[in-house]
Amino acid sequence: MQSVLVANRGEIAVRVFRTLRRLGVRSVAVHTAADAGARHVREADDAVRIPSYLDADAVVAAARAAGADAVHPGYGFLAENAGFARACAAAGLVFVGPPAAAIEAMGDKIRAKRTVAAAGVPVVPGRDEPGLPDEELAAAALEVGLPVLLKPSAGGGGKGMRLVRDAAELPDAIAAARREARAAFGDDTLLVERYVGNPRHIEIQVLADAHGNAVHLGERECSLQRRHQKIVEEAPSPLLDEATRERMGAAAVAAARAVGYTGAGTVEYIVPADRPGEFFFMEMNTRLQVEHPVTELVTGLDLVELQLRVAAGEPLPLTQDEVRLNGHAVEARVYAEDPARGFLPTGGRVLLLDEPSGTRVDSGLEEGDEVGGSFDPMLAKVVAWGADRAAALHRLDRALASYTLLGVPTNVAFLRALLAHPDVAAGRLDTGLVERSLADLAGDGSVPGEVLAAAALERMLALDPGDAADPWDIPDGWRPGAPAWTPWIITPAGGEPVEVRVQGRARDALVAVGDAAPVRASLGRDGRTLTLVHGDRTLTYRHARDGGTLWLGRDGHAWALAEHVRAETGGGASAAGDGVVRSPMPGTVLAVKASAGERVAAGQPLVVVEAMKMEHTVTAPVAGTVADLPVRAGAQVALDAVLAVIEEE
């Protein structure tokens, strides 16, 4: 295998390129027009523009034009598309993945469940006959026994899934599940399964070659999820003992053999938290998983290299008896989202990026990159290894504390709060833990007073002419007789404006934040680091500026202080921003539901904004008249862009 095209983007493309580079294999990237300057394009040996990452014909044509002899699909996009695997084979390209028949067998949940059950793999009790009409599906749910899960046969990721606890809910739940499944997968076939309470999501990594060899590489615990999307994964699971691990692993290998599987794949199980000896097959992912690094860290194996070698026809280089698990590894996914604002997707330009040293970071980002709303919001994965679970969790927390991304709001602080949760530390996990704890984990978006003080002093520092002889040139509030206060309005992104008053120079001042008592403070700058002495505390921040917005980062937190407007009087803070309606996320204006001059009520819809396939309706904060409406349907808007201004009655 001399040249491999990676039919993907972002961190997974960069990660595959890393192995190709180590093996001395030429790499080819594909990219859309929007991704022309992306990191994965810059790191490849060659790159070809395509109209879409979902355009199978264009990807195959790009591989042939670039002289590639194999295609690695990564995950997502075309990775589990049997038609794409066949198209590669028809074009004389090696598909770095399983045979198309195996993808088809495991891609249909009904067929997959029947196939693995025939191979002796435990499955969740349920009904999976294809083509059941609504009435029979409802009867099947009652036969299985409530509560039940309605699941689409054609896809996963939580789309189209409905939990039904009451028989009266069945008709509406079936209709809604069919609608969502049809929209997401083009197929509204549903199956019904018994709902397993307090479930844990545990998966087994398998490898198989074309010579009849198959092994498993242990398990990954993936129970920390929000809306069926994984957030933190680890290997091994703190729940399983060695005997259960071997039983689950043997069942996973049997499932892979049942469909003639080759390459890397993952068999996913649901395990009752209170009965860890039981496990039930959920599905098989016929590709590399996002969370594969934790398996690599505890086994010492490069799964991408093994994929390439198997695809090239080589036998597996190890037997089951030679697989060893060493220590513990935990991975956290960094998303472009704002937990304090309901996990709304975010975006923007990466102004500053400090990735932790001494631990693994799989990332597709570099400073200057634009994060938009067209693709999955996952930006990077931070992965830590330790001799035991406690050591791995501690190292991951410290790594996240040193991860700073300014310019794009992320979930890093949320991840640190999740790792510190007592049940996470103790290994008492289930798939509902995150949702139950959101109020404590997500925070309210409030900004610490010392951060606001640093923002005001940063403005004072920028205006300070240095050791000027004329006291009138120094913005320290000096006046004949007594010093005065310099008032500033600091407006955190998505928050309320706060008045910060400063008396003195940035290097020696009194600072009063809001109604709090004045505190002696000073601020110094060294490159892109600010050092704040605030009372008895000394705090360092990384900082970057984007026009009128100052970004400050510390301990995994990042604050966008969107406005630094000098107040003319000390009383302007409470009124600042009233009636100004801002976009809660970067995206596209889908609809404008009001017009300039129109009288609107508080809570009346004004504008609908869409990003990453999520719609958000922005409403009037107060009753009044629309004084300004600067956006139109189809317009692209940035985070906190002004959408409307309401003059209050």
Confidence of residue 135 (pLDDT cuts 50, 70, 90): very high
Query: How would CATH label the architecture of 334-442?
Result: 2-Layer Sandwich (3.30)
Question: pTM score, two decimals?
Answer: 0.83
Q: Is the pLDDT confidence value at 255 over 50?
A: yes
User: Which of these CATH numbers, 3.40.50.1980, 3.90.650.10, 3.40.50.2300, 3.30.700.30, describes 449-566?
Assistant: 3.30.700.30
Question: Tell me, what's the pLDDT at 185?
Answer: 87
- Mean pLDDT is lowest, of 151-155, 168-172, 262-266, for 151-155
The token pair at 582 is 């801002």
Are 125-194 and 580-648 the same fold in CATH?
no
**Looking at residues 372-384, what average pLDDT do you find?**
92
- Tally Cβ neighbours within 10 Å of residue 517: 7
What whole-number percentage of the chain has pLDDT above 90?
A: 72
Domains of the chain, residue spans: 3-96, 100-122+199-326, 125-194, 334-442, 449-566, 580-648
Residue type, 244: T
C-alpha Rg value of the chain to the nearest Å: 27
Q: Of the ranges 114-128, 196-210, 348-362, 412-426, which one carries the lowest mean pLDDT score?
A: 114-128
If pLDDT is split at 50, 70 and 90, which confidence band does 583 have?
Answer: confident
Mean per-residue pLDDT, 222-230: 93
CB-count exposure of residue 613 (10 Å: 0-12, 13-18, 19+): exposed
How does pLDDT run across 461-477, given as a tens digit for each residue?
988 766 654 555 555 55
Band (pLDDT 50/70/90 cuts) for residue 570 is very low
Predicted pLDDT of residue 553: 98
| pLDDT exceeds cutoff 50 at 595 | yes
> pLDDT, tens digit, for every residue of 469-516?
455 555 555 555 557 888 888 989 878 889 999 999 999 999 999 999
Q: Which residues does 538 contact at the CB level (< 8 Å), separation at least 6?
A: 531, 532
Indicate the class that CATH gives domain 580-648: mainly beta
Average pLDDT (88-113) is 94
Q: Are 586 and 372 in contact (CB under 8 A)?
A: yes
> Average pLDDT over the chain, rounded to whole?
91
- Looking up tokens 């002004």 gives 642
Two structure tokens written together for 156: 């996963």
Report pLDDT for 208.
98
Q: Are 162 and 183 in contact, with CB atoms under 8 Å apart?
A: no
pLDDT at 290: 97
Please report the pLDDT score of residue 469 as a whole number.
46
pLDDT of residue 479: 55
Q: Which residues are registered as beta bridge partners of 608?
A: 591, 617
Q: What per-residue confidence (pLDDT) applies to 580? A: 85
Q: pLDDT tens-digit profile of 9-35?
A: 999 999 999 999 999 999 999 999 999
pLDDT digits (tens, 9 = 90+) for 503-562: 999 999 999 999 999 999 999 999 999 999 999 999 999 999 998 899 999 999 999 997
Q: Which fold has domain 125-194?
A: Dna Ligase; domain 1 (3.30.1490)
What is the pairing mode between strands 70-72 and 46-49? unpaired
Residue 193 has pLDDT above 70, yes or no: yes
pLDDT of residue 418: 98
pLDDT of residue 575: 34
Query: What span, in angstroms and rounded, lies between the C-alpha atoms of 581 and 565?
Result: 18
What's the whole-number mean pLDDT along residues 577-591? 78
Residue 55 has pLDDT above 60, yes or no: yes
> 267 with 250: CB under 8 angstroms?
no
Confidence category of residue 210, pLDDT binned at 50, 70, 90: very high
**What would be the CATH architecture of the domain defined by 100-122+199-326?**
2-Layer Sandwich (3.30)
Count CB neighbours of 24 within 10 A.
7
| Edge-to-edge strand ranges of the sheet holding 126-127 | 126-127, 190-194, 148-152, 162-164
The yes-or-no verdict on residue 612 having pLDDT over 70 is no
Q: Considering the domain delimited by 3-96, tell me its CATH architecture.
A: 3-Layer(aba) Sandwich (3.40)
CA–CA separation, 20 and 191 (whole Å): 41
CA distance 169 to 183: 21
Higher per-residue pLDDT: 586 or 311: 311
